[in-house]
Amino acid sequence: MYIEQAFKSLHDWWRYLVGIIIIVFASQIGSIPLAIAVVIKSFSSGAGLESLQDTNSMLTVLDSNLTFFLMLLSFAVGLLGVYFVARFLHKQPFIELTTSRKKTDWGRVFFGFALIATLTIVLTAADYYSNPEDYVVQFELIPFLILAVIAIVMIPLQTSFEEYLFRGYLMQGIGVLAKNRWVPLIVTSVVFGGLHMANPEVDKLGSVIMVYYIGTGLLLGIMTLMDEGMELALGFHAGNNLIAALLVTADWTVFSTNSILKDISEPSAGFDVIAPVLIIYPIFLLLMARRYNWTDWKGKLFGKVKKPIILVEETTDYS
């Protein structure tokens, strides 16, 4: 089973502590090019460091496509850090961090991607035609094509980093240490949501948006545990972020892109913020459960994690 994969590799508690330090360090290394580019651009424009008093002002210094690429670069380097830690610190094949299956099921990846991508496009189109005054069409071919190339290459790296870190490395690590499934599910979901506290959406919408972030982490964690692998979560997360980046942006979102639409409405945190968690996400889980024949929900989400017994075939020496 998925969490038990970690028992096949080196799984001492201190290795996970060292691993987290290495992964965080790698992601910080990946953020250096953005900082350098911002400083160079600020001085070349004559603005100087005094113009960079907060994160939002820093991100408006550069071209939006360049900013987008450099922001995502830190996640790509972080993903390399996860691979390095798994492969060399834990001696774990990367496939065992991905899934309990013998190889990655790309059909599951594409299904998770298509599910959220289709819903996002349908809901955005419906809202656009119902409330056209809330949107501005800002489509420009060349900037959009550049954005599309960056997004298609870099967003899967960004979302894969987050999935391999939370639903992979930490899910397995906490699972083998806690000896159960519910602790890693809750901890990874809360930490995943908590790391979004710095997003500008939280300042704009208030702390209620954390219900959405933590709820999304919980959804991805349930997918991973019930399906015994990360494929669905990998596809779902990539589809959510990629379509959002290409389709609609706003001045108050973490990714301000050259998307097709720009939302100019005044955002408010109401039932629409928690509706996905309470209504849409359970429907997604039911669809996946039916498609992939999920069973034993109690055992897979709340059961114990036990070290698998490896049977060694006995041989008889007749010499």
User: Average pLDDT over the chain, rounded to whole?
Assistant: 90
pLDDT of 208 reads: 86
pLDDT of 54 reads: 52
SS3 assignment, position 155? helix
pLDDT-derived band of residue 52, with 50, 70 and 90 as boundaries? low
For residues 227 and 108, the answer to whether their CB atoms sit within 8 Å is yes
d(CA 31, CA 51): 19
What distances in angstroms separate CA 292 from CA 185, 238, 285, 295, one per listed residue? 20, 20, 10, 9
User: Is pLDDT of 56 > 60?
Assistant: no
Predicted confidence (pLDDT) per residue in 244-260, tens digit: 999 999 888 877 899 99
**What average pLDDT score do residues 185-207 get?**
89
pLDDT of 284 reads: 97
pLDDT of 146 reads: 96
- DSSP for residue 279: I
Percent of the chain exceeding pLDDT 90 equals 75
d(CA 299, CA 311): 23
pLDDT of 45 reads: 66
Predicted confidence (pLDDT) per residue in 142-177, tens digit: 999 999 999 999 999 999 999 999 999 999 999 999
pLDDT of 275 reads: 87
Give start and end residues of each alpha helix (H) in the chain.
13-30, 32-44, 55-59, 64-84, 94-98, 106-130, 141-163, 171-178, 182-194, 200-205, 209-227, 231-247, 271-275, 281-292, 297-302
**What average pLDDT score do residues 260-269 get?**
86
pLDDT of 47 reads: 57
**What average pLDDT score do residues 67-79 get?**
95
For residues 96 and 104, the answer to whether their CB atoms sit within 8 Å is no
Predicted TM-score (pTM) of this structure: 0.91
**Which tokens sit at 273?**
């913020």
**Which tokens sit at 233?**
């979560």
User: Is pLDDT of 75 > 60?
Assistant: yes
Q: Where are the domains of the chain?
A: 3-302
Predicted confidence (pLDDT) per residue in 83-103, tens digit: 999 999 999 999 999 999 999
